[in-house]
Structure 1
Amino acid sequence: MNIMENRNYLLAAVAAGAIIMGGGGILLGRSMAVQPVASPAAAPAETEEEGHVEGQILMDAARVKGAGIMTETVQAGGLGSEILAQAIVAATPDGEAILTARADGAITRIHRRLGDAVGAGEAVAVIESRDAAAIASERSSATARLVLARSAYAREKKLFDARITAKQDLEAAAAALAEAEAEARRSQSAAAAAKLSGDGRTLAVTSLISGRITKSDARLGAYVTAGTELFRVSDPRRIQVEASVPAVDTRRIQPGDTAMIELPGGETVSAVVRSATPSLDPESKTATIVLVPGSIAGLTPGQGLRARIKPRGGATSGPIALPDEAVQSVEGRDVVFVKTAKGFQAVPVVTGNRGGGRIEIVDGVKPGTVIATRGAFMLKAELGKGEAEH
């Protein structure tokens, strides 16, 4: 009986231990199933990784400007549709004035020097001349004769009205008055054209336009003859670009065609063809194409540069041409950097022929796309750093 009780007690104890161990296992399993809470520092990194776009470079406008990155709008037409020409910035016909001596004389005063600003009608120098005295004398004589002729006409008119003198006397007085008035106008015009001073001793050299003095050959005390060039004034706002184009290409260009002017720093300025000279230069055998720039920023008279003219009859589909520096090699692929709202996006392209610092793009971008040209290598470096971080 004792043996049976001990056996039953042992079995009950083993069963109770199993139940306790089972419950503990359940509790232990539940505690191991709870996941640890992610640290706050890990969340932004995970979000950035999810929002990253391959080939994207985030860059605002201020950073783009500070890095010196230039952009250009892609236009249709390959290398064959562009006419490359050497050009020079020149003043328009009304943008430059040559100031000459109006009469023989000695330069007694110089009011402006090389580089100074001058306004239209402003005196730049003064010449003391014997011709000034002659012009002043003629003006005085003409004025005196005019006063006398008016007096004589008034007297004859009064006598004629009183029926004392004949009509022919009045007509003669009227003719004399008309002649005196014409002579007075002529002498006044001569004095004004010569810029005669009030005392009648000196002549002023005045500027015809507003601008800056770009050339000065006047020397104080120097004796000059009439017609001698003393100063040259240019208005930097009135400029045009003159491109030298071979005769074979001149026939393709028409007024209204578009062009791009390449500045030394890598920037470009859009322009429009205004006209073409009807003959060739005897030395260079080229025609001059006059371009009107859309902006004068960065253009200085006398500056040499290159122009790319796009005739309207050229190709409007097929390859497009870009500057060599716009195409970069990334991981063995040719890419260009397209301007986006947030910065730039690297876009693979298929390239074609090269020449004259330009490269054809066969596929990858379309006309109207804005891409980075100057400074594209900096975007390549930024892209490399960004991809390494991700």
Structure 2
Amino acid sequence: MNPTIRLSVLTLALGAMVACERKAAPTEVRESHQAEGTHDGEGVHLSLKDIRGLRFLVVSEPRAEGAWYPAEAIGDESAQAILSSPVKGIVSAIQVPPGQHVGAGAGLFTLQSPELARLKADWLSARAKRDRTEGEWAREQRLYEAQAGSRRELEAAKSEAATARADEEAARLALEARGLNPEMAGAVMTVKAPRAGSVTAYKIQLGQGVEAGQELGRFQSAFAAIVQLELPLPAPENWQPGTVTEARKGDGQRWKARLEGTPMILTTDTRRLSYRLRLLGGPLPIPGTPLEIHVPLAKTVVLPQSALQQVEGTWGVFVKEGEEAEFRPVRRGPELGTDVMVLDGVKPGETVVGEGAYLLKSLQIKRKSGGDDHDH
């Protein structure tokens, strides 16, 4: 073959080989990146090399858990009372401020009441008339027996005395129906504590005029039989109405507590589940006393809260596989102090990142956003 022709053939062959290599390069890069785990979502494998600050732990066997949660003693409906006056009047004095503990029958505030003065005057007038007519009837009875008086005058005196007695009885009942002792009633009335406890709030001011039956304040019994408890989601699965658990106070005092109902909705402010328990036995705490309730929880895996990370709204853990870690979604349960229950997603014996998991979370987010895969 002509040397010139042979050289031309070799040149064309070498050019074709270089072109093929250039076309194959992007495919090889993609395959290499897939091997390193740069695809999105679950199944992303992150290299653990050169990442400092990680601590690993082996998932232990599930265990039955229970935790103490903060709660507050409150008075039930029977321990609360509305303060009111049975008569019209004007507030002349407030003797006990809200929140101050008082005994049963202690004076809370006083009213100047023209209505009460009129009722007392009516009763005194009716009683005086009754005494006078009964005296006249007794005199006519003596005259009639001595044949010095007529039957007609005797019957008239008797009828007038009966009417006077009825009027006095009506005036007396008018006072007693308002909870007042006729003998002790006067122009000034004191509203008293219905039982030992404290005023939670007043709805009156000095010099204010009030109507009969108007709500003037609220009173709370000194003892609380109800405990209000709020728990984070999810709700304990094995806690049903009627379940008896324990309640305790900071000084060591303990009670049995019965769950009265399970919540249907979340509280509007804390977005937690609100439970109501009744304390069994005594002596009971005062309303507002901080308590703790022991809540029985399910038998589950328990991990430190630092091991759980939230990636795009999904809770999960980074499971170690060789020199790599994979983000795996889990079902998060109630918190146990610095730990948290994991209801599903990991198995005993697996190794997860316990501390520093947030570093892997940042790396995964950076990869998904197109950052440098090797920027740790």
Q: TM-score range by the shorter chain?
A: 0.3 to 0.5
TM-score by length of 1: 0.45
TM-score by length of 2: 0.46
Which structure features the higher share of helix residues?
1
